[in-house]
């Protein structure tokens, strides 16, 4: 067995390869299908669950906000009560006593008595009246606020809270309020101590003070330090207590609302066995667990809550650092003993109007980091100016408060300062409008909206026109040339068009209503956030809303009118703050109550003013990476806690896995079937190829009597036909090769077997012939004539192959027969040969021919040339090579009438040692491997160099130099690899 | 007379450039005239240019031989312009062949053959020191 056969056995065949490819393909399909399906189903499940938790989550967020509001309000009410008591005495000094005459029935009676001369006099009545500075929240206002809050405290089925329960929560709220006030006072004292310490330090560093005073001051400073430490501890304690009381209050409130919440959560379809929601405040205290509302529901995630991964989520969420940064929702999957849980954490913000704006802007800036950079630079500058201005206003207010006579709104200096403030706010707005980087985007959005509207309108009109057309068809007779429709068809068409028209009408209405809808346009919303975030935040600070949730901001984004209204309200509110005419009463706008939907104003104008300075005096964004700027501060203040949603996705995931396994099973069955089919098909395929392969092996062995069986019209069929054609071609070529060999044999025989020797005493003769591959067209001959003369000739038939070889053979015979006939005139010989060649051979076959006749008597060489190369002649007397004239038209190219004009008989007398040399163009045009010709100059040189030697040696020299030039072995008999035949003859006169 | 097509060739005054001459003429006339006339044209031009190269006494390779080929409606005109010594082939009466045979001298027969198939017109361009020879072949020349 040879190597090839062994390789054939061990190398996998087509069947194996095809089966392997099929397996590979099936595996890839299997993997891709299962991955894609798994992903799709997982996404579908995710979407389904998200949809399921959406409503409960919104509701729970509402609960959290509501609880926060009520908690805050209850504590505020108690705070107000305490403060009012305290402030009553504090603000007493700002009250004014008004003296008026006694009024009423008694006063009138006294007046009457006086008029009739009685000794009675109407007395003076002294009343204490509030001034601007003495005005704070009244008992009445607090009581209205309290009753509103009390009304909201409703239990299951709207049952109002009983007095015992209310007193209990009131007590907790009061405790929280007391701790808050305490903490505030401590903080105030801390600031005082800091100021005092600074003053003492300044005194101590003064060198003019004596040592006794210094030691006194030092002692005082030490005492302040001790107090500072004690108060700092007190602050922590009070804050912690306040937090604790607030938390207890939250729990107490939750107990009140529990029944109410449970009913609601139940009605919005929360699946307690699949979804569990925890509500945490921002300090990590749990305020609600849906599992506690549904005691019968299984404790879905009991084991999960004990897992380290879950605990880590909580730790991360409530560590200080995380709270500052977690403004976005997050989710994590946790596997608990074969059950799959998804833990979602979502932040809860208390003031949606400001929080939503901040989140929108932050989201936009995360994508387009440098978008508002230019404006933010201006904003920072203006904020700085406002900060400086607000200090001036604060000082002025302090001065006014000292005297308590003029209210700020009536003070000229204050008014000038606030005017400056107003102009800075206007400047900031104008800067934003000037630097607005997305004007084009907004304009484009408007154009697109308009274009879509026009398109809808056009579609509507088109449909309407079609409908009218069909309605007309239904009424009138149809034209002869048109397609005829049945009444049913027309009715159906009309109905379809009507429903399309209805749909289009809805689209138009929907489109019209979306005219000012910003919810899909982030650029508009971001711009709004930049402009109104401060106003929204100020509003959130000042009011406790009646209604919680995102509905207000959603309405704001959707409606242009609403935006206009809210923006007017913001401006009006700022004006109220800046005009400083009243501390607690909000003015109406052109007689309308524009703050009706705002909620309860829970801060005095002065407090709001402080907050406004704080908001306006801080840059909106300082660094997005460093999370510095007002946007971040607002979010940090607004975050009140987190919702942690635990989704039990086990069933869904199991179903997905089951589906995947089922898919895999089906794909595997199909795959196996595919492999089997591929094996069968490849078997059939290979069987046909094997037959071809066997036959091909026969051809390889030289057996051309092989027929490939017909194999249809596919690629193998085509291959079989081609192979059959190839075999017949090979057969023909084989036969032709035989013919060629025969032709070569004939050609060889045409050349003289041996050179003539009859004139060996007078001349030396040598010749050389080398054929190229195949049958050549060169020829030379020597003919000994009976009169002692010698004819020698050399010729080159155009083209190569069997045809020209036959022409040459015939031509040789003709020349010989003409001379045998006795003709000695060389021109006539050529004319006769030309006549028959011109007549009998095709146009492309002609012969360049040189014919010469040597006369031994006078050593004359008479010659004629028919387009052949000029012969070379070595003149021994001059030791010089001459190029003898030749010319003439090649034989067979033109008719004799023209041919004879081109032929010239010439003669030359040979002297002793002269050499006559003639050759075919194969010699001077022989190429070297680099493609260079041997050249006629080289031929002349070799002839000259060897002219003193015998003609055989001359020829041998040519052969040697030629071998060197072509690198072919020309001395060897048989055919060569030359590109053309070479023939040469040399005659030397002895 | 309207010129249908034209071409100009510049040849080095060496025998090697005859290959280019033959192929350019063949390219130009192959579609225009019979195979026989093609051969005659090539033969004639070959003879003329060979004469110029071999006997014109051109000394420099820069003295190119200019061949202008013009096709008219009925005939083809070949103009050979060279820097060779003045020679008017139309005045060449033909040598005594017997004399030539004995002496072995070269030339003459080619010109006679050319005159048989083409009409020749010679001009000496004195100012430029050039020979100008026009050869006219009728397109219907079949011998």
pLDDT in tens, A896-906: 888 888 888 88
Quote the pLDDT of residue A230: 93
Judged by CB atoms closer than 8 Å, whether chains meet at B40 and A906 is answered as: no
List the single best residue of B43, B44, B45 to mutate versus A (max A Cβ within 10 A): B43
Which residues in chain B are contacts of A904 at CB distance < 8 A? Answer: 97, 100, 108-109
Judged by CB atoms closer than 8 Å, whether chains meet at B35 and A843 is answered as: yes
> Of the given ranges (A413-422, A476-485, A667-676), which has the lowest mean pLDDT?
A476-485
Q: What stretches of A771-892 adopt beta strand conformation (E)? A: 778-784, 790-797, 847-855, 860-866, 872-875, 880-883
The 3-state DSSP class for residue A217 equals: helix
Quote the pLDDT of residue A694: 87
Quote the pLDDT of residue A532: 94
| Residue corresponding to tokens 């001077």 | A924
A845 interfaces chain B, CB cutoff of 8 Å: no
**Tokens encoding A283:** 């300090």
A666 interfaces chain B, CB cutoff of 8 Å: no
Phi, psi of A334 (to 5 degrees): -130, 135
Confidence grade of residue A57 (pLDDT, cut at 50, 70, 90): confident
Judged by CB atoms closer than 8 Å, whether chains meet at B109 and A895 is answered as: no
Quote the pLDDT of residue B97: 42
| Residue corresponding to tokens 């008992």 | A139
pLDDT at A161 over 70: yes
Smallest Cβ–Cβ distance between A898 and the set B106, B107, B117 belongs to B117
How many residue pairs from chains A and B have C-beta atoms closer than 8 A? 51
Smallest Cβ–Cβ distance between A901 and the set B35, B36, B113 belongs to B113
* A668-677, A693-702, A786-795, A881-890, range with greatest mean pLDDT: A786-795
pLDDT at A296 over 70: no
Confidence grade of residue A41 (pLDDT, cut at 50, 70, 90): confident
Confidence grade of residue A450 (pLDDT, cut at 50, 70, 90): very high
Rounded to whole angstroms, the Cα distance separating A439 from A436 reads 6
* Range A789-803 average pLDDT: 85
A169 interfaces chain B, CB cutoff of 8 Å: no
Which residues in chain A are contacts of B107 at CB distance < 8 A? Answer: 885
Judged by CB atoms closer than 8 Å, whether chains meet at A887 and B108 is answered as: no
Whether B64 and B10 have beta carbons less than 8 Å apart is answered as yes
- Which residue from A172, A652, A599, A132 is spatially nearest to A353, judged by alpha carbons? A599
Other beta carbons within 10 angstroms of residue A778's beta carbon come to 27
Q: Mean pLDDT score of chain A, rounded to an integer?
A: 83
pLDDT at A697 over 60: yes
Q: What percent of chain A has pLDDT over 90?
A: 25
Predicted-complex ipTM score? 0.72
Which residues in chain B are contacts of A901 at CB distance < 8 A? Answer: 109, 112-113, 116
Alpha helices in chain B (DSSP H): 18-29, 35-55, 97-103, 109-117
pLDDT at B103 over 50: no
Q: In what order do the strands lie in the sheet with A906-909?
A: A778-784, A790-797, A847-855, A860-866, A906-909
Quote the pLDDT of residue B99: 46
In Å, how far is B50's CA from the nearest CA of chain A?
Answer: 10
pTM: 0.52
Quote the pLDDT of residue A831: 94
Confidence grade of residue A686 (pLDDT, cut at 50, 70, 90): confident
> Of the given ranges (A230-244, A284-298, A636-650, A652-666), which has the lowest mean pLDDT?
A284-298
Rounded to whole angstroms, the Cα distance separating A916 from A759 reads 15
List the single best residue of B30, B94, B104, B143 to mutate versus A (max A Cβ within 10 A): B104
Using H for helix, E for strand and C for coil, what is the string for A163-179?
A: HHHHHHHHHHHHHHHHH
Rounded to whole angstroms, the Cα distance separating A150 from A900 reads 141
Give every CB contact of residue B129 below 8 A, 6+ residues apart in sequence: B83
Angle, to 10 degrees, between the axis of helix A14-90 and the axis of helix A139-152? 150
Quote the pLDDT of residue A496: 92
Confidence grade of residue A104 (pLDDT, cut at 50, 70, 90): low
A883 interfaces chain B, CB cutoff of 8 Å: no
Could you read off the pLDDT of A171-182 as tens digits, one per residue? 999 999 899 888
* Range A201-227 average pLDDT: 85
B104 interfaces chain A, CB cutoff of 8 Å: yes
**Tokens encoding A89:** 């005495």
Could you read off the pLDDT of A850-874 as tens digits, one per residue? 999 999 999 999 999 998 989 999 9
**Tokens encoding A188:** 């105030």
Quote the pLDDT of residue A400: 84
Quote the pLDDT of residue B122: 92
Confidence grade of residue B98 (pLDDT, cut at 50, 70, 90): very low
Judged by CB atoms closer than 8 Å, whether chains meet at B36 and A894 is answered as: yes
In Å, how far is B127's CA from the nearest CA of chain A?
Answer: 33
* Range A959-980 average pLDDT: 79
**Tokens encoding A354:** 């400001």
> Of the given ranges (A6-15, A598-607, B38-47), which has the lowest mean pLDDT?
A6-15
pLDDT at A152 over 90: no
CA dihedral for A186, A187, A193, A197, sign (positive or negative): positive
Cβ-based burial of A78 (10 A; exposed 0-12, middle 13-18, buried ≥19): buried
Q: What percent of chain A has pLDDT over 70?
A: 88
B19 interfaces chain A, CB cutoff of 8 Å: no
Confidence grade of residue B101 (pLDDT, cut at 50, 70, 90): very low
Quote the pLDDT of residue A955: 93
Cβ-based burial of A544 (10 A; exposed 0-12, middle 13-18, buried ≥19): buried
pLDDT at A945 over 80: yes
Quote the pLDDT of residue A500: 92
pLDDT at A344 over 80: yes
Give every CB contact of residue A331 below 8 A, 6+ residues apart in sequence: A342, A343, A344, A345
Rounded to whole angstroms, the Cα distance separating B24 from B68 reads 11
> Of the given ranges (A25-39, A101-115, A912-926), which has the lowest mean pLDDT?
A101-115
Judged by CB atoms closer than 8 Å, whether chains meet at A902 and B102 is answered as: no
B22 interfaces chain A, CB cutoff of 8 Å: no
Rounded to whole angstroms, the Cα distance separating B15 from A539 reads 108
The 3-state DSSP class for residue A108 equals: helix
Quote the pLDDT of residue A112: 66
Smallest Cβ–Cβ distance between B43 and the set A884, A895, A902 belongs to A902
Smallest Cβ–Cβ distance between B109 and the set A887, A898, A908 belongs to A887
* Range A813-826 average pLDDT: 90
In Å, how far is B6's CA from the nearest CA of chain A?
Answer: 26
């Amino acid at each position: 067995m040879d190597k090839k056969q062994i390789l054939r056995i061990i190398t996998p065949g087509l069947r194996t390869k095809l089966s392997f490819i099929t397996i590979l393909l099936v595996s890839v399909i299997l993997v891709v299908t299962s991955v894609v399906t798994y992903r799709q189903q997982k996404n579908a499940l995710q979407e389904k669950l998200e949809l399921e938790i959406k409503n409960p989550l919104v509701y729970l967020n509402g609960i959290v906000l509501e609880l926060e509001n009520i908690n805050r309000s209850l504590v505020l009410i108690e705070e107000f009560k305490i403060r009012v008591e305290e402030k009553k005495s504090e603000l007493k000094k700002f009250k004014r006593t008004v003296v008026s005459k006694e009024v009423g029935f008694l006063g009138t009676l006294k007046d009457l008595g006086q008029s009739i001369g009685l000794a009675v006099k109407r007395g003076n009545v002294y009343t204490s009246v509030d001034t601007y500075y003495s005005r704070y929240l009244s008992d009445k206002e607090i009581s209205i606020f309290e009753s509103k809050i009390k009304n909201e405290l409703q239990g299951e089925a709207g049952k109002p809270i009983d007095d015992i329960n209310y007193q209990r929560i009131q007590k907790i709220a009061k405790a929280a309020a007391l701790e808050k006030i305490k903490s505030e006072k401590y903080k105030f004292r801390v600031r005082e101590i800091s100021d005092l310490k600074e003053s003492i330090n300044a005194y101590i560093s003064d060198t003019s003070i004596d040592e006794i005073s210094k030691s006194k001051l030092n002692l005082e400073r030490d005492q302040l330090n001790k107090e500072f430490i004690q108060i700092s501890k007190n602050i922590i304690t009070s804050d912690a207590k306040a937090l604790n009381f607030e938390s207890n209050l939250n729990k107490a409130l939750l107990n009140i609302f529990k029944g109410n919440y449970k009913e609601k959560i139940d009605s919005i379809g929360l699946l307690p066995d699949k979804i569990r929601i925890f509500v945490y405040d921002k300090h990590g205290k749990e305020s609600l667990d849906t599992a506690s509302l549904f005691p019968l529901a299984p404790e879905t995630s009991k084991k999960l809550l004990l897992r380290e991964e879950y605990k880590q989520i909580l730790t991360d969420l409530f560590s200080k650092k995380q709270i500052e940064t977690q403004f976005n929702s997050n989710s994590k999957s946790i596997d608990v003993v074969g059950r799959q849980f998804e833990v979602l954490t979502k932040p809860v913000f208390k003031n949606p109007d400001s929080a939503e704006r901040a989140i929108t802007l932050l989201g936009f800036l995360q994508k387009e980091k440098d978008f508002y950079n230019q404006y933010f630079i201006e904003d920072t500058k203006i904020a700085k100016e406002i900060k400086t201005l607000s200090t001036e206003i604060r000082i002025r207010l302090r001065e006014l408060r000292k005297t308590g006579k003029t209210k700020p709104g009536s003070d000229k200096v204050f008014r000038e300062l606030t005017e400056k403030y107003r102009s800075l706010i206007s400047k900031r707005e104008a800067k934003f409008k000037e630097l607005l980087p997305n004007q084009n985007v907004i304009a484009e959005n408007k154009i697109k909206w308009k274009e879509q509207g026009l398109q809808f309108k056009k579609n509507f009109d088109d449909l309407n026109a079609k409908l009218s057309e069909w309605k007309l068809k239904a009424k009138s007779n149809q034209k002869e040339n048109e397609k005829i429709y049945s009444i049913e068809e027309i009715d159906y068409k009309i109905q379809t068009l009507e429903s399309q028209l209805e749909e289009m009408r809805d689209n138009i209405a929907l489109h019209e209503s979306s005219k000012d809808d910003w919810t899909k346009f982030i650029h508009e919303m971001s711009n709004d956030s930049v402009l109104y975030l401060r106003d929204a935040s100020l509003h959130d600070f000042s009011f406790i809303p009646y209604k919680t949730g995102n509905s207000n901001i959603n309405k704001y984004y959707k409606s242009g009118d609403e935006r206009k209204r809210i923006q007017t309200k913001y401006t009006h509110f700022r004006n109220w703050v800046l005009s400083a005419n009243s501390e607690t009463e909000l003015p109406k706008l052109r007689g309308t109550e524009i703050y009706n939907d705002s909620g309860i104003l829970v801060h005095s104008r002065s407090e709001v003013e402080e907050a406004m300075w704080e908001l306006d005096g801080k840059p909106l964004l300082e660094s997005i990476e460093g999370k510095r700027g007002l946007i971040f501060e607002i979010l940090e203040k607004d975050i009140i806690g987190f919702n942690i949603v635990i989704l039990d996705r086990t069933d869904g995931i199991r179903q997905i896995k089951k589906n995947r396994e089922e898919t895999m099973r089906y794909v595997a069955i199909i795959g196996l079937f595919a492999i089997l089919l591929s094996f069968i098909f490849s078997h059939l395929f290979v069987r046909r190829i094997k037959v071809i392969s066997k036959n091909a092996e026969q051809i390889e062995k030289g057996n051309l009597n092989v027929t490939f069986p017909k194999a249809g019209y596919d690629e193998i069929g085509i291959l079989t036909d081609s192979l059959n054609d190839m075999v017949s071609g090979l057969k023909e070529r084989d036969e032709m090769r035989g013919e060629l060999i025969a032709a070569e044999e004939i050609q060889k025989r045409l050349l003289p077997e041996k050179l003539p020797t009859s004139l060996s005493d007078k001349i030396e003769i040598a010749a050389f012939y080398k054929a190229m591959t195949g049958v050549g067209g060169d020829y030379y001959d020597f003919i000994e004539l009976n009169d002692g003369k010698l004819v020698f000739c050399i010729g080159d038939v155009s083209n190569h192959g069997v045809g020209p070889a036959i022409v040459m053979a015939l031509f040789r015979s003709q020349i010989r027969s003409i001379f045998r006939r006795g003709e000695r005139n060389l021109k006539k010989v050529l004319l006769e040969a030309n006549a028959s060649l011109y007549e009998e051979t095709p146009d492309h076959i002609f012969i360049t021919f040189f014919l010469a006749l040597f006369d031994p008597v006078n050593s004359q060489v008479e010659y004629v040339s028919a387009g052949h190369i000029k012969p070379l002649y070595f003149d021994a007397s001059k030791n010089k090579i001459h190029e003898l004239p030749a010319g003439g038209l090649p034989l067979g190219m033109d008719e004799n009438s023209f041919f004879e004009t081109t032929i010239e008989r010439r003669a030359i007398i040979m002297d002793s040692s002269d050499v006559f040399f003639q050759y075919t163009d194969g010699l001077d045009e022989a190429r070297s491997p680099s493609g260079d010709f041997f050249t006629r100059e080289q031929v002349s040189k070799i002839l000259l160099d060897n002219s003193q030697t015998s003609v055989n040696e001359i020829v041998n020299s040519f052969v040697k130099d030629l071998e060197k030039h072509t690198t072919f072995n020309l001395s060897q008999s048989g055919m060569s690899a030359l590109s053309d035949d070479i023939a040469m003859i040399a005659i030397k006169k002895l | 007379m309207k010129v249908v097509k034209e071409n100009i060739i510049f040849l080095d005054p060496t025998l090697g450039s005859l290959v280019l001459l033959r192929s350019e003429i063949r390219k130009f006339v192959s579609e225009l005239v019979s195979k026989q006339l093609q051969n005659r044209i090539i033969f004639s031009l070959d003879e003329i240019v060979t004469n110029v190269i071999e006997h014109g006494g051109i000394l420099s390779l820069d003295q190119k031989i200019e061949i202008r080929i013009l096709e008219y409606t009925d005939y083809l005109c070949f103009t050979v312009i060279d820097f060779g010594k003045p020679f008017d082939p139309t005045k060449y009466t033909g040598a005594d062949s017997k004399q030539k045979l004995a002496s072995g001298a070269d030339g003459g027969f080619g010109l006679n053959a050319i005159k048989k198939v083409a009409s020749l017109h010679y001009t000496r361009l004195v100012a430029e020191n050039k020979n100008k020879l026009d050869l006219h072949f009728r397109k219907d020349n079949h011998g």
